[in-house]
Amino acid sequence: MSLATVERHPSVLPERSDAAPPDGQLLERYVAARDETAFAALVERYGTLVLSVCQRVLQHSQDAEDAFQATFLVLARRAPTLDGRGPLGNWLYAVAYRTAVKVRQSAARRRARELQVINMAIVPAGEEKEWSDLRPLLDRELNQLPEKYRAPLVLCYLEGKTQEQAARELGWPTGSMSRRMNRARDLLQQRLARRGLAFSTGFLFLLVAKNAGAAIVSPALAGVTTKAALVFAAGQVGLAVSGEVAAIANEVLRSTTVAMTGKIGKLLVIVALLGLIVLTSGTLVHEVRGLMQNNGACGTPAKADPQK
């Protein structure tokens, strides 16, 4: 597949059928009745996306599978707080990236003196070093984009959707999708350029597409992950849930909770300041009016009554 083909048609991964139940419906079924089938459908739908980013960040198969499982454990616990009105891919991408970073930090501490084994068999020898250096940076900078710019790139380049499908899922006007995609690509390319990477985003995502075959979620991994997620969501940790994976999931959950609390705190401060401004403005207006009335009573001569 040529770069020109990718730029014209960014859907480089297999598309899922539009006839499948939407994410919101699957979430609702899972939250309402702990429907294992519904959750398994979400794992199947987004498994490749999640495993791909975990592999790119970690470059270690076992660590990537741990991060994969922990990501869906976070989804199982967070599901009741998600509104389900939009696609889950962008949210899961962000969670998968944060989870993979946590796993990488944990693995670095655990294997400080071990040599990381990187399986690059599917990458041509001439590109191995280049791809190994580029793929973590791509996800790091993509994750840093504002959600409204990250979402179309995740949907089109990483999930394999057409621009029309992505616009429909995001609730955006179809006519503006191309403009939004161009803006998102420009922002990502600017961030990469600041790191000395003078590649087009199309080239980088082409590398992602060429290596997408490595992110194959086996039925065994999907099944184990689904059962572990349901057990974890119920507040249990047994044989179905690895203690290490559960610890990573809890760490991600704590960090997202702290981040949300911080945002809410900032919002409350802004609301309080706005309220203070309004109150102060009202008091000031009242004082000015009073002053004007007093000046009128004491300093302005009364008009003569024409009837007198």
pLDDT at site 270? 55
Query: Is the CB of residue 138 less than 8 Å from the CB of residue 201?
Result: no
Per-residue pLDDT tens over the stretch 80-123 = 999 888 889 999 999 999 999 999 888 777 655 444 443 433 44
| SS percent in the chain: helix, strand, coil, step 5 | 75, 0, 25
Mean pLDDT value across the chain:
76
pLDDT tens digits for range 22-66:
999 999 999 999 999 999 999 999 999 999 999 989 988 999 999
Residue 1 above 50 pLDDT?
no
Q: How far apart are CA 112 and CA 117, in angstroms?
A: 13
Distance CA 5, CA 84 (A): 33
**Among 278, 163, 132, CA closest to 153:** 163
**Coil vs helix vs strand at 237:** coil
Q: Which residue has the higher pLDDT, 257 or 191?
A: 191
